[in-house]
Amino acid sequence: MRRDLLKAMLGLGATLALPRMAVAETIARVGVSARDLGALDPAFGIGNGDEFAIRQIYNTLVSCPDGTELIKVDQLQGELAETWNMSPDARTWTFRLRQGVQWHKGYGEVTSEDVAFTLRRMADPKVGSQYSSNYRLIQQIDTPDRYTVVLHLSAPSPFIYATAMMPRFGGYIQCKKAVEELGDKYRLNPVGTGPFEFVSYDPKQRIVTRSFEKYWGGKPRLDRLEVLFLSETASRTLAFVKGDVDMIEGATVPGWYPSLRKQMPNVVFDFGRPGGTFTMFINMTRKPLDNLKVREAMAHAVDQSVWQGAFGDFVEPMYGISPQGFYGALQKQDIPAQDWPFSFDPALSRKLLAEAGLPNGFSVDVFISEREEYKTNLLIVQEQLRKVGIQINMRLVDHSSYHADIRKDLNALIIYGSGQPPLTQAVLNAFYDSRAIVGKPTHNMNFSHFGDVAGNVDALIDQVNRETDDARRIATLKQIQFEILRQVPVIPLPSPAGAWVRNPRLDVGFPVHAFMGTFTLGKARLV
Amino acid sequence: MAGYILRRLLELIPTVLLVLTLVFLALRVLPGDPAIAALGEYATPDAVASFRQKLGLDQPLWAQYLSFVGDAVRGNFGRSMINGTSINALLLQNLPYTIELAAAATLIGVVVGIPFGAAAAVWRNHAPDMFSRVFALAGFSIPDFYFGVLLLIAFSLKLDWFPMLGGGQGLLDGLHHLVLPAVTLGVVMAAFVMRMTRSALLEVLRRDYVRTARGKGVPEQWIVFKHALRNALIPITTGLGIYLLTTLSGTITVELVFSRPGLGQLLIGGITARDYTMVQAGLVVFAFCVVLVNLLTDLLCALIDPRVTLR
């Protein structure tokens, strides 16, 4: 009913929409799909709403070029860092800071002390940041002068910047003086160096920021930027159609994008790619899922093109364990023409089930988060598996319980959507290293038990994490992925883009091919 | 009367204590971890432990309970577990929006429902009665969120008569923002009041004293408005009180659809994020409203009909 309502709503709205999208000249309003703010302290901000606002207020040392997810060290653009160098053994990183960068609210100039303070704060378990593990390799931080920071790592890490010094994963540089002065109040009173300075927060309603006159990148052309919390898809869509907001976060509802695109062709769709990793892990400790033939049967029954029919451009196929745009990801041309466990072949699926002693199929109990993207993915898988005789008995639980319970190893099939730095080895570390198996003291998100069950690639993962040669690193990443995928611990699902819809009047200043939380609106203007 | 009110207010104490206990226990029984909700899916065990310690979630249940009740009795609901905002400040900021929405919806319900319900009873099986039936059927059949979105499309998006988002600033802007949400809830309430008035009035109009009054030649308008409607107001008021509680719950959906501040927004956000302190405070305030509405209903009944004694 809600989907029909959305479609009807779009239909009604489309006839009136574009000509009436007028907003105040220099105030841009952005509607995020969130009920409220979590935190504007980069150590604690989570979710798209927090991330978007934090990105506008703070800077990182380095970032991908605006609007892209180009992640290699020679592709990066400097933010607070002007230059950066890695030692040949990838154990020492030196960052030279931009001089004269000012903190908001008169907190003075950014120095190497602020950077050192930030990195130590993020790593400190007492602070309790969810990103603390991203900083575990940093053994020592030296600040030889006011503008130089030297990091000494406990192990080689050619990509340390990707998780610890870039947007989206807590890598924002914080003002030592402000954090110490404001204490707990810092959580909702951020002091950054970004293009927009925090003004106010209206709980459950909005965050208001204004352009920072002394922004090192030049004063932004938008006078104000407001982030509105619009969690209801219908309200968010209507507000956008009416022109009350200039940009909104898209909805992961089948038919939403194609309908909107068809009826409002002038609206700009910003699909951030590479998208998130949405995968279905198979808990290989459960019967009959411990049988490789059963897992292969499941894989052969799933057709990724079904998602494209439902979601259109919003999704793209994922051939390996990470989205196509991730560094080291498997591409279509890498996939063997024959004998590949993920080729869609329902007849082969039934044959494999029979060979596994399950000619009539089997049923499996699965719980899933009530969130649209989780639920919808499992429903599509459920329908496809049903056709080969595999029955998924689905139970809905709330999102928070879902995440708590899958970490207790309670589920048989685990749909998991995650935002990782666009690096295949980040996915490997989180989901396929045996030390990351759920239930272990060092656990992360290895839900399939790969490493303890059906193969182990830990040594290869360690090797690739240390590797500084690009060609060797890519080759090893591919080798690891083939070793993993042959055991079918996971069924890759199409990768969803980070999708936003924008009024054409809001010119971001560059083409957008990246997640909205990875770049600022410092160059944006209303035309 | 004063003694009665005082006694009823004192009765609030055990009721509120019971509510506090039930709310506290219900939240702890619910699955889900506020630490993961607040810190995110990638939180390390250290971060989760630190969060739990900071908020006292690592304390035994009885210690958490005593601390919660002690604070609540002093009117201190603490801070949001998710972003540290003062709950008292949030309640003060949001509660007026919910109260004005419920009050406006009730006003619409009464102003539309009673006259049309009375007309339906007086002209039974004629045009006013037919209208009342159709109106009530439509009012009861359309879900709040659907009706709200339809109103938004028609009167905000298409006609641009009313704003789409928020609660507005100042009196006039606030009223402007209030109209569509109040109509969304008020139409359903009017449907209820209409049916309630019709049936109560029909019941009274069949009584012997009405027949006697008619026999004595008392004008029909006088009979309906002076005698029948006044007597019918007792069940109508009681029903209205009960339905007002449903309307209070309905504000939750309407606040979400109209992105309007209010208690519903706080509660839903709190439940989603497992923000114990927020949900506890929100539910206690809701429970307090329920008790208060019941008290007001009883007092109103006594005011309408002097034969009703307050003991």
Cα gap B87→B277, rounded to integer Å: 8
Mean pLDDT of A264-281: 86
| CA–CA distance, A158 with A156 (Å, rounded to integer) | 7
In percent, how much of chain A has pLDDT > 70? 94
Average of per-residue pLDDT across A470-497: 93
Residue A231 has pLDDT above 90, yes or no: no
The Cα–Cα gap between B116 and A102 comes to: 67
User: How far B250 CA lies from chain A's nearest CA (Å)?
Assistant: 16
Q: Which pLDDT belongs to residue B54?
A: 78
A234 contacts in B (CB within 8 Å)?
145, 149, 257
Residues of B in contact with A127 (CB under 8 A): 50
Q: Does A408 touch chain B (CB under 8 A)?
A: no
Q: How confident is the model at residue A191 (pLDDT cuts 50, 70, 90)?
A: very high
Q: How far is the alpha carbon of B269 from chain A, nearest alpha carbon, in Å?
A: 6
**Per-residue buried b or exposed e for A469-488, using 16+ beta carbons within 10 Å of the residue's own CB:** eeeebbebbbebbeebbebb
Under an 8 A CB cutoff, do A188 and B156 touch?
no
Residue B309 pLDDT? 62
Burial tier of A242 (Cβ tally within 10 Å: 0-12, 13-18, 19+): buried
Residue B47, min C-alpha distance to chain A (Å)? 4
User: By CB neighbour count within 10 A (0-12 exposed, 13-18 middle, 19+ buried), where does A180 fall?
Assistant: exposed
Nearest chain B CA: its distance from A404 CA (Å): 6
Within 210-229 of A, beta carbons closer than 8 Å to B belong to 228-229
What are the respective helix, strand and coil percentages of chain B, to the nearest 5? 80, 0, 20
pLDDT at A19: 43
List the end-to-end C-alpha distance of chain B, in Å, as a whole number: 9
Which residues are CB-contacts of A118 (< 8 A; sequence separation ≥ 6)?
A: A172, A173, A174, A176
CB contact under 8 A, A204 and B258: no
Could you tell me how far CA A246 lies from the centroid of its own chain? Answer: 23
A335 touches chain B (CB under 8 A): no
pLDDT for the residue numbered B41? 66
pLDDT tens readout for residues A66-111 = 998 888 888 999 999 999 999 999 999 999 999 999 999 999 999 9
A487 against B207, higher pLDDT = A487
Q: What is the pLDDT of residue A443?
A: 61
User: Does any CB of chain B come closer than 8 Å to the CB of residue A35?
Assistant: yes
pLDDT at A270 over 50: yes
The 10s digit of each residue's pLDDT in A311-326 is 877 888 999 999 998 9
Q: Give, for all 311 residues of chain B, the pLDDT tens digit.
A: 677 778 777 877 888 788 888 888 887 777 667 777 777 766 777 777 777 787 788 888 888 888 888 888 888 888 888 778 889 988 998 899 999 999 999 999 999 999 999 899 888 888 888 888 888 888 888 888 889 999 999 999 888 899 988 888 888 899 999 999 999 999 989 999 999 899 988 888 888 888 888 888 888 888 888 888 888 888 888 888 888 888 888 888 899 889 888 988 888 888 877 788 888 888 888 888 888 888 888 888 777 777 766 55
Kindly indicate the confidence band of residue A186, based on its pLDDT and cuts at 50, 70 and 90. very high
* Cα separation, B136 vs B172, whole angstroms: 31
**Contact B272/A at CB under 8 A:** yes
The secondary structure of A172-210, three-state, reads ECCCHHHHHHHHHHHHHCCCCCCCEEEEEEECCCEEEEE
Query: How far away is chain B from the Cα of A460, in angstroms, using its nearest Cα?
Result: 24
With bands split at pLDDT 50, 70 and 90, how would you rate the model's confidence at A182?
very high
Across chain A, mean pLDDT equals: 88
Contact yes or no for A242 and B42 at CB 8 A: no
pLDDT at A457 over 50: yes
Residue B261 to residue A205, Cβ atoms within 8 A: yes
* ipTM for the assembly: 0.76
With an 8 Å Cβ cutoff, are A204 and B32 in contact? Answer: no
Residue B288 has a pLDDT of 81
How far apart, in whole angstroms, are the C-alpha atoms of residue A256 and residue A267? 14
Query: Do residue A238 and residue B90 have CB atoms under 8 angstroms apart?
Result: no
Question: What pLDDT score was predicted for residue A12?
Answer: 47
The tokens describing B129, both together, are 């009665």
Q: Which amino acid is at B60?
A: P
Round to whole Å and give the CA distance between A41 and A345: 49
Residue A278, pLDDT score? 85
The predicted pLDDT at position A399 comes to 77
Backbone angles phi, psi at A80, to 5 degrees: -75, -25
Q: Are the beta carbons of B50 and A36 separated by less than 8 Å?
A: no
* pLDDT of amino acid A1: 45
Beta strands in A100-246 (DSSP E): 138-145, 148-153, 196-202, 206-211, 224-229
The two structure tokens encoding residue A337: 């023409």
CA distance B278 to A142: 43
pLDDT in tens, A126-141: 888 878 888 888 999 9
Q: Is the pLDDT of residue A31 over 90?
A: yes
Structure tokens at B104: 């406006």
Q: Is the pLDDT of residue A7 over 80?
A: no
CA–centroid distance for A370 within its chain: 19
3-state SS, residue A418: strand
CA A296 – CA A356 distance, rounded (Å) = 10
